[in-house]
Amino acid sequence: MDEPRADDLPRLTQLAHGGGCACKIPPGELDALVAGVSGAHGTPVDPALELLVGLDGGGDDAAVARLDAERAIVTTADFFTPVVDDPYDWGRIAAANALSDVYAMGGVPVTAVNLLGWPRERLGLELAARVLSGGRDVAHAAGCHVGGGHSVDDPEPKYGMSVVGVVHPDRMLRMDAATPGLPLTLTKPLGTGVLNSRHKATGTVFPEAVETMATLNRDASRAAVESGIRSGTDVTGFGLLGHLYKLARAANVTAVIHSSAVPFLPDARKAVADGFVSGGTRRNLEWITPFTDFGSVSHEDRLLLADAQTSGGLLLAGELPGHPVIGEIRPPGPLPLVVRD
């Protein structure tokens, strides 16, 4: 673990009320909001393309529209307030998180544009340039073009990307395709939420958490598609349990998690024990509890499983060699989620 930063850069995390994907609108409130603008309220006039995945798909990570028999367009956008103090690392993490929505659909990102909110009277534009450089470098490593974007003067710094990708219509990853009998695989460890909360409160840097968040989900997505997996999502602000509940709800199945099989980042348990739990994580747990049979699982483990992740891994209904199996999909039961020790 590194010591708190000794340089004189402003602490970006102190300029925002929250950080990373923990800033999402609470999931229960978001469900109600989305229900008010779903397909039940109309469709486009004479649409140019067939919509394969949209608001009515159960909350997938991106919209998908068919171009032809072998190609579909994936579109998404994601941005958030600073999750770390280093501007270049924040840019890397935000870009990896935005690109992840395309990977979570089994797609390949091809173009991106920047989304930037910046308090230009409080922070110099040279810091904004470092954020944008981090995003550009991660997007380029993904083989994705970055072609401009949009910026506004904002009291809180915010950064992310709108991304367009491509996917084969018959080889998508989508949440409603999970079927009983499939194992559940997780491709990144949990714990970024509580470690980011500790970083925000103390300035302590957790390099392994930073690199985990900045790592692309590209290889895992490609391997999943090639192995025949067709159901999955990524784990971000609603936590492992929140995103798994959305998958189970969309597919009308029960998902079982074995908490002892779930990987966690070093120091994550200590961060929970020391009280570094975001409001987003607590809201996640409150939202998911009525839909979950927790058995004898401890409150600390419940918080970790609901921890609001930033740029987390893929959660796949299928086995992916090299990554831990953390549970399985079962036929629908009394509750959509079951957690066991």
Active-site residues, by number, are: 21
Instruction: Give the tokens for residue 198.
Output: 């500790």
User: 12: number of CA atoms within 13 Å, CB side?
Assistant: 27
Cα torsion for 116, 119, 122, 125, to the nearest 10°? 30
Rounded Cα distance, 128 and 257, in Å = 41
DSSP secondary structure of 155-202: SS-EEEEEEEEEE-TTS---GGG--TT-EEEE-S-B-HHHHHHHHHHH
Token digits of residue 87:
């501007």
| Alpha-carbon gap, residue 198 to 203, rounded angstroms | 7
Q: What is the dihedral of CA 76, 68, 226, 217, to 10 degrees?
A: -10
Assign 15 to helix, strand or coil: helix
Helix axes of 87-103 and 218-226: crossing angle, nearest 10 degrees: 10
Of 111, 99, 128, the C-alpha closest to 236 is: 99
* C-alpha to C-alpha distances, 202 to 84, 93, 197, 198, nearest whole angstrom: 11, 20, 9, 6
State how far Cα 285 lies from the chain centre.
17
| Cα 200 to Cα 69: distance, rounded to the nearest angstrom | 48
User: CA–CA separation, 43 vs 141, rounded Å?
Assistant: 37
**DSSP helix/strand/coil, 18:** coil
